[in-house]
Structure 1
Amino acid sequence: MLVPITVVTGFLGSGKTTVINNVIKQVDNSDEKISIIVNEFGEVGVDHDLLQTSSEKIIQLNNGCVCCNLREDLVSCLREIMKHPSAQVLEAIVIETTGVADPLPIIRAIQTSPYLRPIVRLDSVISVVDVVNVMKNSEEVPEVRQQLAYADRFILTKSEQLETAKKQELLDHLSKVNPLADVRYFSKDKSFLTSDFFNLELFDAVKEIEGLVSEGHINNHTNFCSCHSCNEHGQNEFESVVLTTPNYIPENKLVRWLDEVVLYFEGALYRYKGLIRIEDRELMGALQGVVTHYELNLTSQLAEDSLTKLVFIGKSLDKKYLEDSFKKVTN
């Protein structure tokens, strides 16, 4: 059985450690059941000292957002955790990123490492959002937008400090950046539901899908690195593009189009998901992608009951290109 990994991201001061502490305090024997990896920036970190659990269950990585080194260290770290005898009772792994990190290197390491795929799975990426400062921070700090764009769930902190009108403005902003993520609220005075944190199965899920079957096409352009630390495109405008059609799409044309799309955007495309009517298939296809890596699987949902709907999230996406090229595939 694969051990689920929850990646907790969020900007400085958003409340990541507070949320994690709140959750693990509610888990019986959490020291045995949960391992925590804290990715801190610089040689001396303090976040790991604030986590209220036994020190031997917390592993500190001090390479911040140095993407290439982090991937190697994280893979080695996770392999060591899973080799330890205590892994037999391990129920979850939590990775808390540094507040100034792009979460992509962590996602890529878990998702693509041949050493990790047989032993762990990426359960969800949770972005802890400081509702008071996120609008300003997301305009000024590219990493904040990346933390929002890759999220499967937003956990909003300090929401009691916002007026109702401002709260709705914030929700609209978050939805525009990432319409794939759902929202939960956190209060220091209340226990955050563990069922809203662990075993969410959100990363690979496509909305309205009960589950995925093993049959599928997997594509991974492994020789291309598109993380923020390695590439600068000069623009930080994040947006989402939604494509829909009632038509069935030939699978060979669909795969060729997806390959062209990920190469066309050269790292500006961050997350993409959707349900697809595939020609000669009775069941809907589920697309799940991160940058240049995507998987296309069959689902348990009948194609005749749904329409094709795809959502692309990225930086300064060429909407016209997506729409025009999609029309050629579907017509």
Structure 2
Amino acid sequence: MNAAPSRLPVTVLTGFLGAGKTTLLNHLLRESGGRYAVIVNEYGEIGIDGELVVGAEEEVLELNNGCICCKVRGDLIRVVSGLLKRRGRFDGILIETTGLADPAPVVQSFMADDEIRQQARVDGVVCVVDACHFLTGLERSREAGVQLAHASLVVINKAELADEAVVAQVEREIARLNPGATVLRSARGAVPAAALLDQGAYELPRLELPAAPAAARARYVPVPQGRHTDGLACVSLVLQRPLERGRFLAWLQRLVTERGEKLLRTKGIVALAGADRRFVFQGVHMMVDSDFDRPWRTEETRDSRLVFIGHGLDDSELRAGLDACQVSPA
């Protein structure tokens, strides 16, 4: 019996206006040595970025006159479905969004459509930020924060043009708003292709979160917590006692149902009472994927680590909800 073919990896490239997404895309196409179908989304009716993409062996497909996250989302599904019918010609799909797009609906399209989900998977979301203008853009634009929140990899582009103190401040802000995201610096979009591809960021078996310091495992801790002027916050919590399965799953379902529109990203590695395997989950807005993962290792501390990124998050409310899910102390 032949094994089922592996799902085609999809990399979403996002970032605010002028960050250098197309430059990074071109570098990736030149350096990867693979065959990629490229989907370029532009807000205007006349496409320009598609003409600037070089090195794509097969084809560059443009989705114009609307953001990929709303107006032309149906076109994205149609185009991807067409590519999957001849998937043997590609090693993967690269999607460059507009500078104003929310990446979440793009990711959700691959999670929600059964036919596409069986044949393709989101491998990672790469957010390109301008080292010189990122902090200002984050203050002035909601989109910049949303793009950062969904990233599995953040590329600080034009790092050679900014002072070291500014780049360090950018790195600290990224760590506060999206802990766990890989952060790389680049000049003119020069990032090793291996760092951009095969991330497996949306595959549950490859989900990892930073461990809490040993002294902090007995209590809730922000690891770390960041707040921003537009209400974007990251709340990271560590719980030492196991969670009761029924209560926790019901709490998580209520959270994403009631707060899903403002809850940009959720992910966690959870110790459930009576379970010998890790329970892992991650979500985008109201869409959550979860399953039991590998067994807990003998040397591991069986704590639960959860990260919530969104607008208007109340860390006290999240703590109280999870507190009610913990088993009673012996």
TM-score (structure 2 length as normaliser): 0.86
Aligned twin of 1:299: 293
1:330 to 2:329 alignment: no
Aligned twin of 2:106: 106
The one-letter code matched in structure 2 to 1:52 is V
Aligned twin of 2:54: 52
**Identity across matched positions, percent:** 28
* Structure 1, gaps ≥5 residues long: 210-234
Aligned twin of 2:185: 185
Deviation sequence 1:286-326 (CA, Å, 0-9, x none): 11111111122112240662310101000121111101111
The one-letter code matched in structure 1 to 2:142 is P
Aligned twin of 2:43: 41
Structure 1: distance between partners of 2:260 and 2:195? 34
Structure 1 consecutive aligned stretches of length 4 or more whose deviation exceeds 6 Å: none
Aligned twin of 1:122: 122
Q: State the Cα distance separating 1:92 from its structure 2 match.
A: 1.0
Structure 1: distance between partners of 2:115 and 2:141? 33
Structure 2: distance between partners of 1:51 and 1:67? 21
Q: Please tell me whether the aligned partners of residues 32 and 194 of structure 2 are also in contact (alpha carbons under 8 angstroms).
A: no
Structure 2: distance between partners of 1:200 and 1:271? 17
1:15 to 2:9 alignment: no
Aligned twin of 2:264: 270
Deviation sequence 1:50-78 (CA, Å, 0-9, x none): 00135851000014326444321111100
Structure 2: distance between partners of 1:313 and 1:303? 28
Q: State the Cα distance separating 1:115 from its structure 2 match.
A: 2.0
Deviation sequence 1:21-48 (CA, Å, 0-9, x none): 01111233x4xx1000001102112001
* Structure 2, gaps ≥5 residues long: 1-5, 211-228
Deviation sequence 1:244-300 (CA, Å, 0-9, x none): 111111221111010111123241111011110012210111111111111221122
Aligned twin of 2:284: 290
Q: 1:162 to 1:118 in 2, by over 3 A?
A: same
TM-score (structure 1 length as normaliser): 0.86
Q: 2:305 aligns with which of 302, 305, 309?
A: 309
Structure 1: distance between partners of 2:296 and 2:261? 33
Deviation sequence 1:91-119 (CA, Å, 0-9, x none): 11000001111112211111211121111
Deviation sequence 1:228-251 (CA, Å, 0-9, x none): xxxxxxx83211111211111122
Q: 1:3 aligns with which of 2, 8, 13?
A: 8
The one-letter code matched in structure 2 to 1:133 is H
